[in-house]
Structure 1
Amino acid sequence: MLCAIYKSNRKIGTYLYVAKRDQFEAIPDVLREAFGPPIFVMMFNLAGQKALVNADKDTVRKKIETQGFYLQMPKEDDWLFKL
């Protein structure tokens, strides 16, 4: 299964995965508003050998199949607050 990956210009580390390039009908309006204009990153084969860096391919595929998209949020990094 191929999917298209987009990054947000409003929140660093936030990515949106959809089944087909430039098709955002499944994305709720409130998410579209918060995400901002999507910036295309690449097409990715979820059935291929290559792994995703910060997401599980099976989870991404299941979410796209059931809800039409997968939203990857950045991991919280609290290294700034550690001494």
Structure 2
Amino acid sequence: MKCTIYRVGSQDGTYVYLREGLDLTALPPELQQRASRMARVMDLDLGPRRKLARVDIQQVLEGLEKRGWYLQLPPDGKMHVSLHFGD
């Protein structure tokens, strides 16, 4: 399954995987609010045998199939928000 990966703002380790053929408007409103701060990282062709560094490929594939997107959070599972800079 082909997808595009976006880095979410300045959130280290936070990425959105978006199924090929969809754009950022396919994301829930909460993620769309951050879309202006998303940077396209790369395109990937994912399959069950592919290895990803910080996330289970099965979870990514299921998210892409069911919703069209998958949100990868930092390893500690927390999004770090800087109130000073408004990110």
Query: TM tier, shorter chain?
Result: 0.7 to 0.9
Structure 2 unaligned runs (5+)?
A: 78-87
Are 1:27 and 2:27 an aligned pair?
yes
Give the SS at the match of 1:25: helix
Q: Point out the structure with max Rg over C-alpha.
A: 1
Structure 1 unaligned runs (5+)?
A: 78-83
Q: Give the aligned length.
A: 77
| Counterpart position of 2:84 | none
TM (norm. structure 2) is 0.73
Deviation at 1:50, TM superposition (A): 3.9
TM (norm. structure 1) is 0.76
Rounded Cα–Cα distance in structure 2 between residues aligned with 1:63 and 1:49: 17
Q: RMSD across aligned C-alpha pairs, in angstroms?
A: 2.2
| Counterpart position of 2:80 | none
User: Percent of aligned positions with the same letter in both sequences?
Assistant: 30
Rounded Cα–Cα distance in structure 2 between residues aligned with 1:32 and 1:58: 24
